[in-house]
Homo-oligomer: A and B are copies of this chain.
Amino acid sequence: MSQSYPNIVLRLPDWLDAILPPAEQVYASREERMGLVIDLARQNIQRGTGGPFAAAVFDLNSGKLLAPGVNLVVDGHCSVAHAELVALMLAQQIGRSHDLGGPSQAPCELVTTTEPCAMCLGALPWSGIVSLVCGARDEDAREIGFDEGDKPADWPATLQRRGIEVYRDVCGQKARAVLQQYRDRGGAIYNGRSPN
Contacts and interface: CB of A to CB of B under 8 A. Distances in A.
Contact of A128 (B21, B79, B97, B121): B79
Contact of A193 (B67, B78, B128): B128
Interface string A45-56: 000000000000
Interface residues of A, number: 71
A2 to B, nearest CB: 6
Interface of A: 1-12, 16-18, 20-23, 65, 67-68, 73-74, 76-81, 85-86, 88-90, 92-99, 101, 117-123, 125-128, 147, 149-150, 152, 158, 161-164, 190-196
**How many copies altogether?**
2
Given A101-B193, A119-B122, A80 B76 contact: no
A78 B99 contact: no
Contacts of A126: 73, 79-80, 117, 119, 149, 191-192
B77 A97 contact: yes
A60 B74 CA distance: 24
Nearest to A158: B150
Contact of A194 (B147, B149, B162): B162
A67 to B, nearest CB: 7
